[in-house]
Amino acid sequence: MTYRFEPAAETFLGLPAATEVHVGSVAIFGAVYGTAYPNAVHDLSGMTAPNAVRRAITEASVHIDHWDFDFDGPLLNDGAVDVVDLGDVTTRPDDNTGNRAGIEAATRDIRSAGAIPVLIGGDDSAAIPFMRGLADVGTLHILQIDAHIDWRDRIGDETLGYSSTMRRASELPFVRSMTQVGIRAVGSARREEVEAARAWGSRLVTVRQVRASGAAEIADAIPRDGALLIHIDVDALDPSICPGVNALSPGGLWLSPGGLWLEEVTDLIASAMAGRTLAGFSIVEFQPKADINSMTATVVGRLICHILGNLARNTGR
């Protein structure tokens, strides 16, 4: 399988653009399309999600060498981690097979080079081939942060769409556990999907349970053997701070429990990465056309920054 990276017009945080990676580095790349459902309508105009994130976080973090108070020092810890932006894997809304093959191959090649892949989606279906590209880790534990459990076997005849992400992950022989955090409201799951997830062994943690237990307790229950994948669907966050999503779930202070707050998600990230090896990170379901004042794009970018900041402090490496 061949694939191609299209260089980004501007890179994440203004970091170097690259065509290859090396051992110990972090490689950011985008994938706009994964697997579209039949008859899906695609708006090809406007800025893509990966590029909107790159622009928003770069504008918000012009001086990445300045003090970052979330980490008590510069974000990348004075060069402690090398981060490059590969651009976007070439994908098309009418080439589901090619999209999946390209995303999986790119992920696998980044891993083979000894680097950590970071995917900016695109809808949640892009995460299915991303996860398949992590097969080299042998044992993988998944922390999914999402409003929905994504355990549908199929929607119509499509088994690889964005409602099936975690069901397909459960079928990968190297995936040994799932912790699904931030679940709330109503999604595509029916009784049979909830029962299937629980029967497999997935740990379903609602927003209320997050607030009752705290991030550290939830993260501590993730097994420490093998490696960790953190996968975020941005509709997990409250719509008051992340309005630009594909599947808006109720939230806000007047609709308890609402969605997760940024600090709750960053606490989960930090707690989960502590003492574990990070295999990869994916963040999906951002919809630029639904965004307000680049709020969602900036939050997505900041969540990626928290992955980088923790890696720069030897957390997750």
What would the mean pLDDT of 287-312 be, rounded to a whole number?
Answer: 97
Per-residue confidence (pLDDT) for residue 255, from 0 to 100: 57
Strand partners, 278: 228
Q: For residues 112 and 106, is the Cβ–Cβ distance under 8 A?
A: no
Per-residue confidence (pLDDT) for residue 157, from 0 to 100: 93
Tokens (6 digits) for 125: 């279906």
Judge whether residue 1 has pLDDT over 70: no
DSSP conformational letter for 85: E
The pTM is what? 0.96
Cα gap 249→258, rounded to integer Å: 8
Structure confidence by residue, pLDDT tens digits, 54-65: 999 999 998 999
Structure confidence by residue, pLDDT tens digits, 10-54: 999 999 999 999 999 999 999 999 998 887 777 777 899 999 999
CA angle 131, 270, 193 (to 5 degrees): 45
As a whole number, the mean pLDDT across the chain is 94
Cα gap 61→45, rounded to integer Å: 27
- Per DSSP bridges, beta strands 227-233 and 203-206 are unpaired
Helix (H, G, I), strand (E, B) or coil at 65: coil
Helix (H, G, I), strand (E, B) or coil at 274: coil
What would the mean pLDDT of 263-267 be, rounded to a whole number?
Answer: 98
Per-residue confidence (pLDDT) for residue 256, from 0 to 100: 63
What would the mean pLDDT of 83-95 be, rounded to a whole number?
Answer: 96
Structure confidence by residue, pLDDT tens digits, 187-196: 899 999 999 9
What would the mean pLDDT of 110-118 be, rounded to a whole number?
Answer: 98
Cα gap 253→201, rounded to integer Å: 32
**What is the C-alpha radius of gyration for the chain, rounded to an integer number of angstroms?**
18
Per-residue confidence (pLDDT) for residue 252, from 0 to 100: 57
